[in-house]
Structure 1
Amino acid sequence: MKTFARLIRRYVLAAVAISLLLVIMAVAAFLWVSLRFGLRWQEQFRYSSSEIADNLQRDSQGDFYFQEHDAEEWMGGYSWAMVLDDTGQVIWRYRLPQELDHAYTASEVAVFSRWYLQDYPVFCQVRDYGLLVIGMPKGSTWKYNFWTYPELVRSVLSWGGAAAIGVLVLILILCLIFSWRGSRSLQVVARGLDALAEGRTVELPTKGFAGELAEKLNQTSAQLQYRNEIIQQRDTARTNWIAGVSHDIRTPLSLILGLAEQMQRDTQLPDAARQKAGKIQIQSEKIKSLIEDLNLTSKLQYGVQPLRCKTVHAGPLLRTMVADFCNEPVSERCEVELELDREAENVSVRVDAALLARAIDNVLGNSVRHNSAPVHCRVKAEKQGNMLCITCTDDGVGYPAAVLTALQSSETGENTPHILGLHVVEQILQAHGGRADFEQNIPRGSKVILHLPIQ
């Protein structure tokens, strides 16, 4: 929602900035054009009509002459010039066209003094020696006159500034009103997007500025709701199927384990039969562990595994977990060493002890089951910043390259090895807000680092 508000503010500010920029550009263009044509005027016409009139003199004999420069210099750029006396007679001329060299009546003088003289733009200057008329080239200048009431000019000068400010204020108010209305519509859409992101159903009103967008969001929400229901049904069916199969297998598997254990302890059976019974028991334990992992990973993946978290000290918790593993039959082919530094001893973590024990059990059991010879396992806990790092290492053969690639990459393919037990470890740590890193131990063996956030 804040994003749309910022968007509206940026829009309004951008509109204001563009308007000011256009005004500045218009003023700059006007000044540039004025300067350009002013310089051009100076290049074409060296002197103004008033300067020419002031420097034109008449001596006592009635002859005209210019001061400082000759007539060619003063009249540079102009077409012709003449001086009329009070009766309208031409008493001085400069390159005056033949058709203009005649006497003029008062009415003719009144007309061309304001406008044109036979399409020549003219400027008139009154001096003691008469009326100086200077003609410019045809088409070089437009001359227009206008009239108005003095009250109108005074009103424009008095109220023009206030009217301009009022118009600008009105434009700003209208922009703010439309922006506010658009912002309200977009805020409704923003709340719909927030609800959609949280997985809730969206039903927005489809009227107003953002009605079409709201309708699209409603359609998207309906489609997502329908798909979520299908996915939920599928996930529930899959979880129930896995749980049902696990339950159905668990009963006959328990019978197989019990019979195998009885056969292994029966001294009347041959040694070969008792060894076969021991192998049956070991493989049955593997099947039991796989079923438990399959059931657990399904629950963790779909969020149906409850986390019964409690705040505990890391030292006693890890000692209990390692001791429980050492009491299992699989630990007969390994030696486990636990090391805790001082800081990690009393660190408090909030965990589901049963799930974390399952992760430790899977890591250590993986080291035992995938090494033919007995291995030495080492569990070390230390505090690193705000994380408790539990490092489990062994001195076995280490991870195969394909297994390590599958553990360190989320991509799966047809030839990806099955790493269900270690995948469960990843899920358990992620459920606790941590992570699991899988590496090769140096100089030999495998290494797993479990990162748990400290309470």
Structure 2
Amino acid sequence: MKGIMKIILRNVLSAGGIAVLLLITNLIILISWAAYSSKDQTPKYSISNISQDLKREGTNYILSDEASSLITDKFQWAMLLSDDGKVIWSKNLPEDVPLSYTSSDIASFSKWFLNDYPVKEWQHENGLFVLGDSKNSTWKYNFEASEISMYNAPKWLLAGLIINFLIAILLAFLFGIRFFLSLRIIIKGVEDMAEKKPILLNIKGAFKDLANNINITSTELLRQQKLIEKRDTARNNWITSVSHDIRTPLSMIMGYSSSLENNKNFSEEERKQFSIIRLQSEKIKQLVNDLNLTVKLEYEMQPLNIQPFYIAELVRKIVVDHLNNLRDDKYTLQLSVSDEVQSYMINGDMRLFERALNNIIGNSMKHNENGCDISIEMKKKKEYCIIEIKDNGTGFKDDVLENLNSSNEMPTGTSHGLGLFIVKQIIAVHGGTIHFENSENGSSIILYVNN
């Protein structure tokens, strides 16, 4: 409801402002036109000045040079009528203008025209001075109004302005409602499109093209969504099928290779080869498990066992397990935990968190075969617990680093494969973030988790 009122109020205020602006503009134009139209009536060019410059000397009439120029330049002709209606002086008098007039003739042309010539009259000391202009040069209209009408004119003008303003407000209100109704349909269509619902908007008017574009976009998005779902379903089914089919023969390979590895009847070299078969089979099994886990996390099919736990306690356990299983002194592992993190508790799946941290540590060892020093630092910043895992190994390649930080797609063609991708997924499903970077002497992975 607030949205409706805002839209209507905005349209009403806009219409009111436009109405006021138009009224002011029209008033300015009217004043400008009146000023322009009356510029020829200035005292310099008035008929009274010209009439005064017509002097009688004896039986002749003499017109000053300035007045004569004004008649020629600004008007067309002039004449002086005696009291009995005879023309006793003239200048540039047209041939179709009579030389004698009755009182009724004078009364007639003094209000309107003289043979279609617009004329002006002025009382001269020797008669009636008439100043004429060319035909079709001046428009005349006789207007009369009572004194009371002129007195009430400002009131009528104000009433007219108020009525115009109210009409503009009413029209704006109606147009605002119509605009909002069309806009509401558009907004509902966009919301449905975001929810991946089919859309078919049928709107006429200003939003017609926009509605058609939304219909086309919705159709295309639904088509692409079906293709994506079909592709994802095929990939999920393929991974599930392969994982299921490979487990049984893989278990047999691992079982037989382990038995052969421990069989004393084989030579040491043969037993090493059986050990290699077993280790590679275990890697294949781990890869299959990783594929299953990443698909389940991506499609939210992995059930989460959410419970509160102390993150520092979990990290200590992981570090101790790695230290106990280290068979080579070329790797070192150190842990630093700030006091404020000791009691930091989060709600999450502890098993998945353990998997993520093991993947990070294992990744550092896997890609630094010549050894490296791994350090884990835990600290608190605001509401976040920050876990930074560093190593002084070879670091990430530039393309790998960009893919890890900017892409949410499963990595392809990179040595840093499913392990770190699973880490990103685990942290994401728990509402945290992760950042990968290279330092001066190795790489750094920073986890931001909160409770």
TM-score by length of 1: 0.79
Give the AA of the match of 2:140: Y
Report the secondary structure of 2:111's partner residue: coil
Give the AA of the match of 1:71: S
The whole-number CA distance in structure 1 between the counterparts of 2:390 and 2:272 is 30
Report the secondary structure of 1:81's partner residue: strand
Which of 368, 377, 381 is matched with 1:380 structurally?
377
- Give yes or no for contact 2:47–2:121 (8 Å, CA) kept in 1: yes
Match of 2:101 in 1: 104
Larger deviation, residues 3-12 vs 290-299? 3-12
The whole-number CA distance in structure 2 between the counterparts of 1:34 and 1:273 is 117
- Give yes or no for contact 2:312–2:341 (8 Å, CA) kept in 1: yes
1:153 CA drift (Å): 6.1
Q: CA, structure 1 residues 405+126, in 2 after alignment: closer, same or farther (shift >3 Å)?
A: closer
Report the secondary structure of 1:448's partner residue: strand
The whole-number CA distance in structure 2 between the counterparts of 1:236 and 1:97 is 102
- Give yes or no for contact 1:290–1:421 (8 Å, CA) kept in 2: no
Deviations 1:14-60 (A, max 9, x none): 55555544444444444444444544665xx823123445676779x
1:340 CA drift (Å): 1.0
Match of 1:247 in 2: 244
Q: CA, structure 1 residues 28+325, in 2 after alignment: closer, same or farther (shift >3 Å)?
A: farther
Q: How does 1:93-132 map to 2 (within 5 A)?
A: 93=90, 102-126=99-123, 129-132=126-129
- Give yes or no for contact 2:16–2:168 (8 Å, CA) kept in 1: no
Alignment: residue pair count = 444
Match of 1:319 in 2: 316
1:124 CA drift (Å): 1.0
Match of 1:144 in 2: 140
Q: How does 1:217-228 map to 2 (within 5 A)?
A: 221=218, 224-225=221-222, 227-228=224-225
Q: CA, structure 1 residues 246+98, in 2 after alignment: closer, same or farther (shift >3 Å)?
A: closer
Report the secondary structure of 2:166's partner residue: helix
Larger deviation, residues 373-382 vs 286-295? 373-382
- Give yes or no for contact 1:403–1:419 (8 Å, CA) kept in 2: no
Q: CA, structure 1 residues 447+39, in 2 after alignment: closer, same or farther (shift >3 Å)?
A: same
The whole-number CA distance in structure 1 between the counterparts of 2:418 and 2:359 is 10
- Give yes or no for contact 1:380–1:391 (8 Å, CA) kept in 2: yes
1:269 CA drift (Å): 4.0
Report the secondary structure of 2:196's partner residue: coil
Q: CA, structure 1 residues 108+142, in 2 after alignment: closer, same or farther (shift >3 Å)?
A: same
Which of 277, 281, 286 is matched with 1:280 structurally?
277
The whole-number CA distance in structure 1 between the counterparts of 2:273 and 2:329 is 18
Report the secondary structure of 1:294's partner residue: helix
| Aligned-residue identity in percent | 34
Q: CA, structure 1 residues 115+397, in 2 after alignment: closer, same or farther (shift >3 Å)?
A: closer
- Give yes or no for contact 2:410–2:421 (8 Å, CA) kept in 1: no
Q: How does 1:273-352 map to 2 (within 5 A)?
A: 273-326=270-323, 334-352=331-349
Deviations 1:184-207 (A, max 9, x none): 232133123113213345576x47
Deviations 1:337-387 (A, max 9, x none): 221122332333333222221211111111222333344322221223443
Larger deviation, residues 70-79 vs 339-348? 70-79
Match of 1:434 in 2: 432
Which of 50, 64, 81 is matched with 1:71 structurally?
64
Q: CA, structure 1 residues 3+225, in 2 after alignment: closer, same or farther (shift >3 Å)?
A: farther
1:183 CA drift (Å): 0.7
Do structure 1's residue 407 and structure 2's residue 418 form an aligned pair?
no
Do structure 1's residue 88 and structure 2's residue 81 form an aligned pair?
no
Deviations 1:364-418 (A, max 9, x none): 1112223333443222212234432222222333334554454355399986556
Report the secondary structure of 1:77's partner residue: helix
The whole-number CA distance in structure 2 between the counterparts of 1:425 and 1:194 is 33
The whole-number CA distance in structure 1 between the counterparts of 2:327 and 2:437 is 23
Q: CA, structure 1 residues 257+377, in 2 after alignment: closer, same or farther (shift >3 Å)?
A: farther
Give the AA of the match of 1:105: T
Q: How does 1:259-270 map to 2 (within 5 A)?
A: 259-267=256-264, 269-270=266-267
1:94 CA drift (Å): 5.3
1:276 CA drift (Å): 2.3
Deviations 1:43-95 (A, max 9, x none): xx823123445676779x89878xxxx73334542244333233213345556
Q: CA, structure 1 residues 446+280, in 2 after alignment: closer, same or farther (shift >3 Å)?
A: farther
Match of 1:422 in 2: 420
The whole-number CA distance in structure 2 between the counterparts of 1:388 and 1:166 is 68
Q: CA, structure 1 residues 97+239, in 2 after alignment: closer, same or farther (shift >3 Å)?
A: closer
Structure 1's unaligned 5+ residue stretches are none
Report the secondary structure of 1:278's partner residue: helix
The whole-number CA distance in structure 2 between the counterparts of 1:328 and 1:254 is 24
Do structure 1's residue 173 and structure 2's residue 170 form an aligned pair?
yes
Do structure 1's residue 271 and structure 2's residue 268 form an aligned pair?
yes
1:154 CA drift (Å): 7.0
Give the AA of the match of 1:349: I
Match of 1:389 in 2: 386
The whole-number CA distance in structure 2 between the counterparts of 1:350 and 1:240 is 32
Cα RMSD over matched residues?
4.1
Report the secondary structure of 1:364's partner residue: helix
Q: CA, structure 1 residues 145+407, in 2 after alignment: closer, same or farther (shift >3 Å)?
A: closer
Q: CA, structure 1 residues 195+448, in 2 after alignment: closer, same or farther (shift >3 Å)?
A: same
